[in-house]
């Protein structure tokens, strides 16, 4: 616990939704919900306008649509969000060499290590300067918490939302925390909170009153002791600059449970290819292949296989995932599949014989796929889309084309220029033509196979554009 509030916690405000509003003038000031749009999709982020209707993150998308039927519902654009996050993290890096990213929109910063703050006044000045720089650079807002510990800095940023700054003076922790729910303490989830409630402990002050011995009796030595120290405001966790990835994984939830074993295997192979693409993109290889299967009854099984050396070969990963699938009973149906690689390294260690066998297997797989496509000329590959789900029934060419146009994603028309997809169905796609710095644009509808319409990369944000209003 520090004597000065030199640990900063930044949390961008409704980040995904705010980024969408900033890039789409017609959505500014209106309810926006970002997440998976399939029947089993969940909300990733809701704008503050949508939250007024009761929509919040992790809510089933179907429930969100009932609460806010007139909101804009968009599929995430993670490459776009990562680009903005990179700008924000660069600004944090100017404050200190000790920046601990927690996600795309959240991070801790050790201001003392950066030499920019050693007391409350200088810490507040650094926090306000950061908020101004973020707005100037990205047009988005973030909330800042400042305190003498990571736990309290995060609590302060929650208090600051939206678009504010809260500083907790060291020495005021007990007074601040006392009346709060025990759930405000890191590590206290619903189950532990309910266990404490049954023991008559609902506030942080009651945690302190119960004493460490009682908490150890209720929760065990490690958890009970940690809870007691946190309740006193004691948190000595340092800001860690490097948070090395321990694994890389991808997964898909399906609109309809998969029953066909061949279809399940094909999905596993597709996920393995995506996983390897992400693995290579991070500059890693890995030794342990992990398969995750969630069955029709919500039971989740994981199986893993450790290779002789690290790999980033898609054939090797696909074959290992297929072997793991053979160990899983999928009778009754599968609702989610995932493939991951752990035991990461920054090199590969394949032997020449394994590489030769992999190349042969790859050639055979390509030949088999070519033969399949020749037999089924009407079917095309389903493109990868973040948070999208894949229907169980074989898709028609029109349905596949429609899935190319994910709601919210960027497009460009040969005549009308840049725009974004408002929706698609029954062979048509509706596009609103506007860009970050423009006025709200016109809406037009095209056939899904219109040769003048094509997917596009996101346009950069115009700083300050998110604050505009829509008449």
Catalytic residue numbers, as ranges: 106
Report CA-CA distances (Å) from 290 to 54, 57, 170, 250. 37, 27, 45, 10
User: In the sheet where 247-258 sits, what is the strand order?
Assistant: 247-258, 334-345, 285-295, 300-311
Closest CA relative to residue 465, chosen from 13, 21, 12, 142: 21
Q: How far apart are CA 29 and CA 39, in angstroms?
A: 27
Handedness of CA 68, 44, 466, 133 (dihedral sign): positive
Helical axes 190-198 vs 212-219, angle rounded to 10°: 120
Helical axes 15-23 vs 78-95, angle rounded to 10°: 110
Q: How far apart are CA 142 and CA 395, in angstroms?
A: 42
Q: How far apart are CA 323 and CA 318, in angstroms?
A: 9
Q: What are phi and psi of 418, to 5 degrees?
A: -75, 150
Report CA-CA distances (Å) from 426 to 108, 422, 451. 47, 14, 17
Among the residues of 241-343, which ranges form H helices? 261-281, 314-325
Q: How far apart are CA 18 and CA 34, in angstroms?
A: 10
**Residue length, the chain?**
471
Closest CA relative to residue 162, chosen from 54, 59, 18, 31: 18
Q: Which conformational region is residue 337 in: left (phi greater than 0), alpha (psi within -120 to 50 degrees), or beta?
A: beta
Angle at 381 between CA 377 and CA 386, to 5 degrees: 160
Helical axes 120-138 vs 78-95, angle rounded to 10°: 150
Among the residues of 1-75, which ranges form H helices? 15-23, 48-51, 61-67
């Amino acid at each position: 616990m520090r004597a000065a509030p030199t640990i900063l916690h930044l949390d961008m405000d409704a980040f995904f939704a705010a980024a969408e509003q900033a890039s789409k003038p017609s959505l500014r000031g209106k309810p926006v919900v970002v997440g998976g749009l399939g029947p089993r999709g969940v909300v990733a982020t809701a704008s503050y306008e949508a939250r007024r209707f009761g929509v919040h993150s992790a809510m089933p998308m179907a429930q969100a649509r009932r609460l806010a039927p007139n909101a804009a519902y968009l599929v995430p654009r993670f490459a776009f969000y990562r680009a903005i996050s990179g700008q924000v993290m660069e600004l944090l890096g100017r404050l200190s060499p000790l920046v601990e990213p927690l996600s795309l929109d959240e991070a801790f910063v050790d201001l003392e290590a950066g030499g920019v703050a050693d007391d409350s006044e200088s810490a507040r000045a650094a926090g306000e300067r950061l908020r101004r720089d973020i707005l100037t650079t990205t047009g988005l807002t973030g909330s800042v918490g400042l305190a003498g510990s990571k736990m309290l800095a995060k609590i302060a940023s929650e208090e600051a939302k939206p678009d504010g700054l809260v500083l907790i003076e060291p020495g005021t922790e007990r007074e601040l925390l006392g009346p709060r729910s025990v759930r405000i303490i890191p590590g206290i989830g619903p189950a532990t909170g309910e266990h404490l409630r049954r023991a008559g402990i609902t506030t942080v002050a009651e945690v302190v009153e119960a004493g460490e011995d009682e908490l150890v009796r209720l929760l065990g030595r490690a958890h009970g002791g940690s809870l007691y120290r946190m309740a006193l405001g004691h948190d000595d966790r340092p800001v860690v600059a490097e948070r090395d990835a321990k694994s890389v994984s991808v997964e898909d939830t399906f609109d309809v449970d998969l029953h066909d074993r061949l279809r399940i295997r094909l999905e596993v192979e597709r996920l393995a290819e995506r996983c390897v693409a992400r693995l290579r993109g991070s500059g890693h290889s890995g030794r342990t292949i992990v398969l995750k299967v969630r069955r029709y009854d919500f039971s989740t099984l994981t199986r893993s296989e450790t290779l002789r050396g690290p790999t980033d070969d898609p054939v090797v990963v696909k074959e290992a995932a297929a072997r793991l699938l053979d160990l899983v009973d999928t009778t009754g149906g599968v609702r989610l599949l995932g493939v991951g690689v752990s035991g990461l390294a920054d090199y590969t260690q394949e032997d020449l014989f394994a590489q030769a066998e992999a190349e042969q297997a790859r050639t055979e797989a390509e030949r088999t796929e070519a033969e399949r496509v020749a037999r089924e000329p009407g079917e095309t590959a389903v493109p990868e889309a973040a948070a999208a789900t894949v229907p169980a029934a074989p898709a028609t060419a029109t349905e596949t084309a429609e899935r190319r146009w994910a709601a919210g994603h960027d497009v460009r028309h040969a005549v009308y220029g840049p725009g974004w997809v408002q929706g698609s169905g029954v062979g048509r796609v509706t596009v609103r033509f506007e860009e970050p710095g423009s006025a709200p644009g016109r809406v037009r509808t095209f056939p899904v196979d219109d040769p003048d319409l094509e997917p596009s990369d996101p346009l950069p944000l115009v700083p300050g554009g998110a604050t505009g209003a829509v008449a």
